[in-house]
Amino acid sequence: MSILTLRNIGKIYNPGKPNSCEALRGVDLDIERGDLIAIIGESGSGKSTLLHILGCLDQPTSGEMSFGGARVNFRSAKKLAAYRNGKIGFVLQDFGLILGETAVENVCVPLLFSKTPFTKMKSRARTALDTLNIGKLANKRVNQLSGGQKQRVAIARALVNDPEIILADEPTGALDSKTSSEIVNTLLDLNEKGKTVIIVTHDPKIAAQCRRVVTITDGALSE
């Protein structure tokens, strides 16, 4: 069963202006529950734009997207925020962490926008850290951690609301090869446990480990 369905998605930046740019055109994509997908393409091909639309960080210019059969309403900022926070976990290349805060405080951030009682936030955050086998780092400040540790904290943050989909945008781009392999194995393990995982990557070795590879060229998809 499809968890995400995209039909005829288009994205134009600065439409109607001399500097307009068509980033996506006629994108059709069905993402099944439990999929492990790599999105690959050259720089500027539109892969990050596609990921941002999948995660409702950006809105398409045309077309429609459905989650679990229900159309995503891009007109309601409040509903989009709730959808992002409850359904999607984001893993970013630059980690996106608050450097002066501890690991557990960083993992708590998505819970601040949920209905989780304040008294239970740190407990849930510690559970997410334990899932990644980094519970011992809970009280360490992020600026004291290695790149691999930071990315694991970022993955724990992505998991803390138990999302159905994990979107990873070049998750190994800032890491050395050994640590990159460990992070990819972590994402593969989460997929084995039932999470739908979508990875934007320029690395063919990472793409080869995914069950599906979607190539984007000049804003259009092929698989």
For the question of whether the overall pTM of this predicted structure is more than 0.85, the answer is: yes
What is the rounded CA–CA span in Å between residue 223 and residue 219? 13
Band of residue 100 on the pLDDT scale cut at 50, 70, 90: very high
Rounded Cα distance between 37 and 44, Å, is 19
pLDDT band, residue 222 (cuts 50/70/90): confident
Residue 156's contacts (CB-CB under 8 Å, 6 or more residues apart) are 103, 107, 125, 128, 129, 131, 132, 134
- Looking at residue 123, its pLDDT comes to 95
The mean-pLDDT minimum among 25-34, 48-57, 59-68, 109-118 falls in: 109-118
Strand 62-67 with 70-71, pairing: antiparallel
Give the residue-averaged pLDDT of 125-151.
Answer: 95
Return the higher-pLDDT residue of 51 and 74: 51
* Pairing of the two strands 2-13 and 21-32: antiparallel
pLDDT at 72: 87
Helices (H), 21-102: 47-54, 77-87
pLDDT at residue 1 is higher than 80? no
Q: What is the mean pLDDT of the chain?
A: 92
Give the per-residue pLDDT at 81: 85
Name the percent of the chain lying above pLDDT 70.
100
Instruction: Assign 23 to helix, strand or coil.
Output: strand
